[in-house]
Structure 1
Amino acid sequence: MTVQSRGGLVYRVEPGSLAEYVGIMPGDLIVSVNGHVLRDEIDFRFYSAGENITLDVVKQNGKKQRFEIEKDTDDLMGISFDNPVFDSIKTCRNNCCFCFISQLPRGLRQGLYLRDDDYRLSFLFGNFISLTNLASQDWKRIDEQRLTPLRVSLHTSDPGARARLMGNPDAGRAMEYLEKFKQKGICAHIQIVLLKGVNDGDKLISTLEDLDSLGGTILSVGVVPAVYTKYREVP
């Protein structure tokens, strides 16, 4: 899939939809909604939710066109994009000792080696994120657009142990970030990849107790054993 730098490329227009009615077609590039340049599909959903919307579109022939649309708030435009992310996918900054991507053999299709760590894909598709690469503008957007729930790979609430597990000193702030979720009313599903002698036993119990203290912020906790393939040495 091709990532667009500005706006989203229309892949499909539903028959009988508002988009078809006003003349939007597959191959058109929707640049902005109500003056907001689109970064991803979430932006499109968020800014097109009102009754009066303005779409700035680049048609397939390169001509720019503006569409003024009146609709009910629950009316969908009927547009699918070729890629849910229009700028660039946020990638992983960690070096987890159990990373499944690092255990893949060579020679597979390139998309399988993408180490995504993007909160937008977490919201849209349930991908797990580490919280180690969120900038201040990301936090602001999560709050403003109510991007909840998100799915978080926690592994342990112990700051030092998490930093070592994930090969990133910034990883130790996870519980601080989950507390921030609680303050903002953002919920999370938690994943714990369990390594014998590292984050199991008393450390696991402590992690579960720390998560329990966050109350309804934590919607679920999944605990899975770490597995390794022949392409990576067991630590």
Structure 2
Amino acid sequence: MQVPAGVLIQAVEQGSIAHEVGIEAGDRLLGINDRVIEDVLDYRYVVTLFERELVLRVAKTSGELWEIDIEKDEEEDLGIELEGIQTRLCKNNCIFCFVHQLPRGKQVRRTLRVKDEDFRLSFLFGHYLTLTNLSESDFQRIFEQRLSPLYVSVHATEVGLRQYLLQNRRPDDLLGNMRRLIEGGIKVHTQIVLMPDINDGIHLERSIADLVHFYPSVLTVSIVPVGLTDHRKGLPKLRPVDLDYARRTIEHVSAIQQQNLGTYGTPFCFLGDEFYILAEHPIPPRSHYGEFPLVENGVGMVRTFLDEFALALGKKWKHNRRVSVRGTVVTGRIFYPTLKGCVDQINSKLKVDLQCLPAENLYFGKGITVAGLLTGSDIFAAVKDQLHGDFLVVPSESMTGEQGLFLDDWIKTDLEMRLSVPVFAGGYHVAEFFKLIFSVGSPRHEAFPILSDETVSFGS
């Protein structure tokens, strides 16, 4: 099937420039001035580049081709909404790929099955890419449009080891590609998914040493533990990260961080929060994380949460003492000890009655412990016999869309019908949670919107 040229115009704002010149939803934007428009990023760049005088080439739904001359003010918007980026897919077969570990024969959100490898999504949303599918025109576009920073999955810098991890028949020139990006003025965050006995030890030291050589153009290395589901039949055997391994990794990486601090003034490499929680090790202080550039990758998220919580708990919260606040808060197993301690403090100081429960991930397997991968059925199984109080608070990042869609296609109302209590998203900041619990039972209560691709939430 031939892909239509240009970008689909999904909507046109009433009274806008586009509306006045006859552009309609369903038309396709082919180009602006001498530039071909491939996606919304192209559109934003070209409109900014030419600012006032634009010549739009538009394919109408009737089949006609229009060429439209437009003069506008610099900040004036054309008033068109373009379709989302058509995702480029990953052709690697990484031995730890989460998509390959999805349960067979079960409902699962369609987007979870998408293996993306797209520099545009890396720039826009912080998605990690391996750089294995970049063409010459891609490099030129990245440089021209200043798509920086990008987020690169490294895993190992040694050619043979990286080729094994990615299961790509063609060895790629990772360091050469990164050098080219850097010489073109692009900043890079990098990631290593750490697998016991495979890319750790001397291999990890080599990877960090190769990457820190590019500092400050390579900004950071985040080191996160491999995530293993119960659905790995036919896949390479991998060992999960346990308490002992997490402790040894913290000790190993801490020594490297201290060396980097002395040489570069930054730890440079940062461990995912899961390592500290698994090792029952204190979370590093705020100063360790700088400006928290990796919080969306689970690096510094717990520290951000704890600091936000301390600030929120110190405020004076007014609530109707005649309204009893009794409810249940659920989270994933990895975050449960942290959240339980916070809920206990809320109960003690603010005289409410909240219960905190961990939810086992029955859908993907017990090795998956983060709240964002909990399904509706997981949450139901965790609370059905232990539900306390008059409402349930679930992690915001476990749902998406207005209906509150879980990964297993349950929606929020499925939980409400089965449990006979209202279900609320905890919000994306701790203060939102405090407002939520004190508004429950109030006629003015408003639930927080359910969003996606957010970071720190109550129940992370």
TM-score (norm 2): 0.47
Q: CA RMSD in A?
A: 2.2
The DSSP-based 3-state class of the residue aligned with 1:165 is: helix
Amino acid at match of 1:158: E
Within 5 Å, which residues of 2 pair with 1:135-154?
135-154=135-154
Distance 2:135 2:12 in 1: 34
**Deviation, structure 1 residue 221:** 2.2
The DSSP-based 3-state class of the residue aligned with 1:32 is: strand
Q: Is the 8 A contact 1:32 1:38 kept in 2?
A: yes
Q: Is the 8 A contact 1:132 1:170 kept in 2?
A: no
Within 5 Å, which residues of 2 pair with 1:116-195?
116-195=116-195
Distance 1:110 1:81 in 2: 22
- In structure 2, stretches of 5+ residues that fail to align are 239-460
Within 5 Å, which residues of 2 pair with 1:57-72?
57-72=58-73
Change (3 A) 1:74 1:219: farther
**Deviation, structure 1 residue 43:** 1.6
Match of 1:196 in 2: 196
Larger strand fraction of residues = 1
**Deviation, structure 1 residue 40:** 1.5
Distance 2:76 2:176 in 1: 39
Amino acid at match of 2:151: R
Match of 1:106 in 2: 104
The DSSP-based 3-state class of the residue aligned with 1:42 is: helix
Q: Is the 8 A contact 1:29 1:58 kept in 2?
A: yes
Q: Is the 8 A contact 1:132 1:171 kept in 2?
A: no
The DSSP-based 3-state class of the residue aligned with 2:95 is: coil
Identify the match of residue 88 of structure 2 among 87, 90, 99. 90
The DSSP-based 3-state class of the residue aligned with 2:70 is: strand
Is 2:55 the counterpart of 1:54? Answer: yes
Match of 2:25 in 1: 26
Tell me the alpha carbon deviations over residues 78-122 of structure 1, each in whole angstroms, 9 at most, x when there is no partner.
Answer: 32222223xxx4321211000011011235354432222121222
Match of 2:415 in 1: none
Change (3 A) 1:76 1:158: farther
Q: Larger Rg: 1 or 2?
A: 2
Match of 2:230 in 1: 230
Structure 1: which 4+ aligned runs deviate by more than 4 Å?
A: none
Change (3 A) 1:208 1:45: same
Within 5 Å, which residues of 2 pair with 1:65-80?
65-80=66-81
**Deviation, structure 1 residue 15:** 4.8
Match of 1:214 in 2: 214
Percent of residue pairs identical: 39
**Deviation, structure 1 residue 5:** 2.6
Amino acid at match of 1:37: V
Q: Is the 8 A contact 1:6 1:38 kept in 2?
A: no
The DSSP-based 3-state class of the residue aligned with 2:142 is: helix
Tell me the alpha carbon deviations over residues 156-215 of structure 1, each in whole angstroms, 9 at most, x when there is no partner.
Answer: 222221111111254542111111111111111211100011112232222222211112
Match of 2:412 in 1: none
Q: Is the 8 A contact 1:158 1:172 kept in 2?
A: no
Q: Give the number of aligned pairs.
A: 230
Change (3 A) 1:223 1:15: farther
Distance 1:4 1:28 in 2: 15
147-156 or 75-84, which moves further after superposition? Answer: 75-84
Q: Is the 8 A contact 2:40 2:83 kept in 1?
A: no
- In structure 1, stretches of 5+ residues that fail to align are none
Q: Is the 8 A contact 2:58 2:67 kept in 1?
A: yes
**Deviation, structure 1 residue 12:** 2.5
**Deviation, structure 1 residue 36:** 2.5
The DSSP-based 3-state class of the residue aligned with 2:204 is: helix
Change (3 A) 1:84 1:90: closer
